[in-house]
Chain A
Amino acid sequence: MDILISGLLLGGTYVLIAMGLNLQYGVARIMNLANGEMIVLGALASFWVFTSAAISPILTIFLVFPIAFVGNWLIYRFLLLPLVRRAKTQGHLEVDAILATFGMSFILIGIVVSLNGGYFTYSFLATPFELLGSTVALNRLVAFIFAVIIAVVLFLWLNRSRAGMAVRAVSVNPGSARLVGINVEKVSALAFAIGGAVSAVAGVLISTFITLDASVGVIFTMKALIIVIMGGVGDVRGAIIAALILGLVETTVATLVDPGLTLAAAYFIFLLVLLFRPQGLFGKPQT
């Protein structure tokens, strides 16, 4: 029961990470390997604001979201869009995007290291809390609740608003979206920026209960990628379930076997997905 609850709480945060990457890869078609660094930056911001001004991470969210939105929009507009425009094929763009985002990821790591080479440790709501008979740290629960709220808002925005509909249209087929008068470049930039902002907010929430440092970004990138692929690219429902599965499996392995093996567990799931359901949990088999 302890495992189930902390697994689900962890999965809740993964949902947020995966939604960020899903927007970037599913809509803007950019496999953003610097996604994890965006999480780290969010965590660093939260750490700074908390330790220097004692402002609650919950409030930091409202600061981080717009900054990360603008930052990611600029990255897309000035670094990635030229690649999209020059790419002859999807495969070509994929390779370019992978290399460019690797570059960005290293640059961001370099910047974070020069700002703060140590661990981002601070204590926020680290009080035990009784939930369905298990004891969990209150910060995990709060992070989970905020992850759910953000996910719901994002989901509603995607499914109810006009802009959200354009985003979904581009995700399904950029060519047809262009035909019905959607500005694909603009929508892609929007999706990329929101995706990055959501990832940064996820970083803020995660930093309340996990200690991060400059180098862990790649681990989060890996996990986000595994979730997105397991859930099926562009499939929000699939990503949520995949995130919860990953959270549960990792918590189980960490509790029952060894915390050092969580990445191995994530890999094992990834391998199963690649072998048996490369199109995602709910995807239809492609030919």
Chain B
Amino acid sequence: MTPEDTRNILIGIVCVAIAACVPLVFNGYWLSVALTAMMYIALSTSWALFSGPTHYISLASGAFFGIGGYLVATGMSDYNLSFWLMMAVSAVVATVFAGLIGMATLRLSGVYFVIFTLGLAEMIRNMVSWLQNNVLGSRGLYVLTDFTEAHIYWMLLTVSVAVFILGALIARSRLGFAMRIIGNDETVARHVGINTARAKVLLFMTTGFFAAIVGAIIAPRYSYIEPNLVFSPELSFLVVIMALLGGMHRLWGPLLGVIPFTLIWEAISIWIPNFTTLFLGLAFLTIVYFLPNGVVGLLEKLRGGATP
């Protein structure tokens, strides 16, 4: 381990310790903002594990997140199963589902993948609503637990830490090296012996896994779940924008996008709620035209370092 690694680990531990103290200092509104931010840290960072190196824009987060929330709600409400069991089930379901989507679309060009994920959450929402109304019978789904917002926050913090650790491990592994090569030139990657399809599908499955876990953990926050609430296309876009805003060529990049964006988003939602969509659009254009490497890229440029 190099001195730099040791330093990074220490910084990481300090950050986690500070983050863990948030519920002890804040409560009410600010805790709930922190919780939202923590949710997006886990989602955007795990999203960037896949999309950073491949440049494939996945809009499937909302679908996987919805699978997590919906399965937890159905299992607890209709079948009296435990929260933890349903969280595990939803993670497995989402991972397998991501694998299937990946196998069907990732061997083709990136455009097909974006289009396929674009309407995915909406399609699943339609199907789930239909199943609920016609097959299962329409009943409200209640997620009743003893979890407080602080508990949910700490669980999400744990997930975020797991994402960071996994990300760091992947970056040092053959898989991480393979992804960097794929991101540079997929044809070369194939011809040096990388099974590019398998590598991409594996990483896409990780994002599905984490998004479902986050969806499951968030479910108790709402207590009453319906498909329209959890299968949210908007969530997919927010995850994308925050990761891009932060910058995806560093593991901690999305973090720098999530925190400012969540704060601005909250402020806009309170004061000028009709402006949110417009703001989302402006944020996309800002990134494309002015911040192609995100906040991280900007910082590195200001420090005079080379941007990759």
Contact = CB atoms under 8 A, between A and B. Distances in A.
Touch between chains A and B, by CB atoms below 8 Å: yes
B30 interface: no
A108 B281 CA distance: 8
Given A218-B233, A261-B127, A274-B104, A103 B110 contact: no
A190 B281 CA distance: 25
A95 B277 CA distance: 21
Interface string A189-229: 00000000000000000000000000000110110011001
A270 interface: yes
Interface stretch (B112-120, B151-159, B167-175): B112-120
Interface stretch (B12-20, B82-90, B141-149, B283-291): B283-291
Interface of A: 31, 33, 79, 82-83, 91, 94-96, 98-100, 102-111, 113-114, 117, 218-219, 221-222, 225-226, 229, 258, 260-261, 263-264, 267, 270-271, 274-275, 278
Nearest to B51: A95
B103 to A, nearest CB: 9
A264 B129 CA distance: 12
Nearest to B100: A271
A99 B114 CA distance: 11
Contacts of A104: 281, 285
- Listed residue (B108, B109, B110, B115) with the most chain A CB atoms within 10 angstroms of its CB: B115
B123 A263 contact: yes
A102 B244 contact: no
B288 A271 contact: no
A96 B244 CA distance: 12
- Listed residue (A103, A114, A264) with the most chain B CB atoms within 10 angstroms of its CB: A103
B274 to A, nearest CB: 6
B105 interface: yes
Contacts of A260: 126, 129-130
5 contacts: A94-B110, A103-B282, A103-B283, A267-B123, A270-B116
Interface in B233-259: 233, 237, 244
A258 B129 CA distance: 11
Contact of B284 (A91, A103, A113, A267): A103
Q: Interface residue tally of chain B, by bracket?
A: 35 or more
Given A31-B111, A261-B126, A99 B119 contact: no
Contacts of B108: 274, 278
Contacts of B283: 103
Contacts of A95: 55, 57, 110
A102 B278 contact: no
A117 B288 CA distance: 28
Given A102-B237, A271-B104, A218 B281 contact: no
B183 to A, nearest CB: 10
A281 B110 CA distance: 20
B80 interface: no
Contact of B274 (A79, A100, A105, A114): A114
A27 to B, nearest CB: 15
Contacts of B280: 103, 106, 110
B224 interface: no
A111 B278 contact: yes
B288 A113 contact: no
Interface string B267-308: 000000011111111111101110000000000000000000
B191 to A, nearest CB: 15
A79 B108 CA distance: 28
Nearest to B129: A260
Nearest to B125: A263
Report, nearest first, the 4 A-B pairs whose CB atoms are least far apart. A110-B278, A103-B284, A106-B281, A107-B281
B134 interface: yes
Given A83-B288, A109-B278, A260-B130, 8 more contacts: A104-B285, A107-B278, A107-B282, A219-B119, A225-B115, A260-B126, A264-B127, A270-B115
B112 A274 contact: yes
Nearest to B292: A96
A185 B116 CA distance: 29
Given A263-B123, A274-B105, A109 B287 contact: no
A271 B274 CA distance: 36
A146 to B, nearest CB: 27
B131 to A, nearest CB: 10
B277 A110 contact: yes
A263 B126 contact: yes
A113 B277 contact: yes
Nearest to B277: A110
A222 B127 contact: no
A98 B129 CA distance: 29
A263 B134 contact: no
Interface in B46-97: 55, 57
Contacts of B127: 261, 264
Contacts of B111: 31, 94, 98
Interface in B24-43: none
Nearest to A34: B281
Contacts of A96: 288
Contacts of A33: 118
B57 A106 contact: no
A227 B29 CA distance: 46
Nearest to B280: A106
Nearest to B107: A278
B115 A222 contact: yes
Contact of B288 (A100, A110, A267): A100
B116 A274 contact: yes
